[in-house]
Amino acid sequence: MYCPASGTFVGFSIELRSNYNYYNNITVIKFDNVHYNEGSHYSPSTGIFTVPLSGLYVFMFNVQVRYKSSDTSQLAYVKLQVNGISKALALVQGIGHLTGGNAAVVKVSAGDRVYVSTADERDRYYIHPYRTMFSGALLHVI
């Protein structure tokens, strides 16, 4: 997104393209298919967006999960984090292929690290490719 105050574009839109990824611990989700990454501030190898300019940003994430048939805990938490601090949480609960997501407008500083991670090491589920996305854009420089 273009920010008139700074005269720059900052934004990204990415999806998980890898085959089913089974998560059974707390980890950063590494979205690997970049649709848009203006400024190259999102790293597919780490799953982390490094904030280039202090300001107000909007972040959105959407995750589709599928549980293993043997799992009794059919509950998945996924969260948006800034430097390890949770800013938004999505909960997916039930049987089958389920989708959850959230969005947040967050004030961040240059150098902050923003990412989506699993949130509970007791959760055990597959994350679907192609239906799992993470996006962000600079709204205003502060």
Q: What is the pLDDT of residues 13-61, one digit of tens each?
A: 999 887 656 666 778 989 989 999 998 999 999 999 999 999 999 999 9
Does residue 2 register a pLDDT over 60? no
Token duo for residue 5: 């105050």
* Between residues 77 and 124, the one the model is more confident about: 77
List phi, psi (to 5°) of 40.
55, 40
Does residue 3 register a pLDDT over 70? no
Number of domains in the chain: 1
Closest CA to 32 of 8, 51, 16: 16
**pTM (2 d.p.):** 0.87
* Segments forming the whole domain that contains residue 76: 2-141
pLDDT tens digits for range 45-101: 999 999 999 999 999 999 888 766 655 556 678 899 999 999 998 887 766 777 888
Task: Give the side-chain half-sphere CA count within 13 A for 78.
Answer: 28
pLDDT band at 123 (very low <50, low <70, confident <90, very high): low
Greatest Cα pair distance in the chain: 53
DSSP 3-state of 46 = coil
User: Which CATH number characterizes residue 82's domain?
Assistant: 2.60.120.40
Does residue 116 register a pLDDT over 60? yes
Q: Which residues contact 16 (CB under 8 A, 6 or more apart)?
A: 29, 30, 31, 32, 33, 127, 128, 129, 130, 132, 133
CA-CA distance, 134 to 40, in Å (whole number)?
A: 15
